[in-house]
Structures are given as C-alpha cells and as structure tokens.
Structure 1
Amino acid sequence: MSGGAGSGSEGVSVEHLFSYGTLRLASVQRGTFGAELPTRDDALPGFRLGVLKITDPHVIALSGSDEHPILERTDDPADSVAGSVLELTPEQLAAADAYEVADYVRVTVTLASGTRAWVYVAAEG
C-alpha cells in the first residue's frame, strides 16, 4: 500500500507520516531516524486523542514518558487532532514502525490539507 508515498525532487521516494505525539519530538526523531525530519503543521479530522500506557522500556527511555497519545476514530467532522506531517524515506518509515508498540497500527488517511499520509491509530481489539 503506498497511500502516503510521494516522489522527491531527486527521485528519492518520500513518505508522509502524520504525527500527533512523540515522533514530533526532536530527541525521538534523532533516536529513531538518526536526524530531525522536515515537518509541517496539519490536522486530522474525524479523530480525537486518547491516552495509551506504554510498557516498552526502549520507547519510554526515548520519549521520556510511559503515557503516549493514541488516535481514536470518531467520524465526527467537529473532532480534529492537530499534528505535524513528517517527510521520510521508506527506510525511516520502517524505523517508525519499529518504534511504535503493537497497540498502534499504521493506516492511510486524508489530512485537513488534502495530503494523503500514514498515521498510527489504535489497533482493533
């Protein structure tokens, strides 16, 4: 599935990932991707934030918290979550997958700006 895929100016594949939590932190980006990523503000309509208790010691150490936000779908256009669109390579997207715990699943969404992007939402069940 390439819902978040784009194309860079030099033929490098660019993925868009909407982050509303710890992946926006410079320290988490450096620890996960080896660098800070290009970002821009955006929002995701039809969702609200909940809280997830994290137990993975690596994620807690990197983020500095055992409580992370998690998206919950409401389908109510009045609900919206602010965040940032990160531009990353497919390899960096795989690193984001490794960072996120099993309580999250990556799906594609359309942001308020019209950008198609990957986002981590609450896993079903």
Structure 2
Amino acid sequence: MAGRKDSLPGYRLSAVAIDDPAVVATGGKTQHPIVSRSGSPDDMVAGAVLAVTPDELHDPDRYEVAAYRRQSVTLASGTLAWAYVDARDAPPSAS
C-alpha cells in the first residue's frame, strides 16, 4: 500500500501495554505504539497518509483494543485524516 509522508503536530509517541491475548497473538507484542495529544506545537509524530476504502477502514476498528480511539485529526500538511489515538485523551473541543 503506497502512502505519502506527513506528520501529526501536537502529539507524542509512547507505548501502551496490550493485555488482550488475541491481539498479542496477532501482533506478537505486548507493547504497541500509541500517540497521545500533548497540546505542544513542538511535539510531532512522523508517519504516512494512506488512502483506504471505507471497508478497509473498518478492519482496524475491529482489531484495536479499548486503549485506542479513531479520531479525525489535521496533519502538518493540512490534510484531514483518521488516526488511532490514546483513548484516555479527551477529544479536542470543536471551535
């Protein structure tokens, strides 16, 4: 799957413990990366933008554990995209 580089400002990358045995079996790891909103414009998480169909978007929805929430974000390029972020973060308020 081809993508283009972009980044997510105001977030930082960390790790989250995964205790769902099915997810650990599928991913092979008990720690997965997670992005959390920091609110600092100096923080940025590098990544890639992928074009996916609505059906493809629902596959990760079924896989992700409760630690993640799919949220609309604005990338450094100005592109609106879906990202799986730390579910403990409050969603940004609509302005």
Q: Give your verdict on TM over 0.5.
A: yes
Q: Which amino acid aligns with 1:71?
A: V
Distance in 2 between the 1:78 and 1:98 partners? 33
Structure-2 residue corresponding to 1:5: none
Cα drift, residue 52 of structure 1: 0.4
Match of 1:88 among 29, 52, 56: 52
Cα drift, residue 96 of structure 1: 1.1
2:30 maps to 1:71: no
CA deviations on 1:58-109 (whole Å, 9 max, x unpaired) are: 3223322111111111111100001111211101101011111111111101
Structure-1 residue corresponding to 2:11: 47
Structure-2 residue corresponding to 1:34: none
Larger relative helix fraction: 1
Structure-1 residue corresponding to 2:70: 106
CA deviations on 1:23-54 (whole Å, 9 max, x unpaired) are: xxxxxxxxxxxxxx222211100000121011
Aligned residues: 89
Identity %: 52
Distance in 1 between the 2:23 and 2:50 partners? 19
Distance in 2 between the 1:107 and 1:89 partners? 16
In structure 2, runs of 5+ residues without a counterpart are 90-95
CA RMSD of aligned residues (A): 1.5
Is 86-95 or 51-60 further displaced after alignment?
A: 51-60
Which 4+ residue blocks in structure 1 deviate beyond 3 angstroms? none
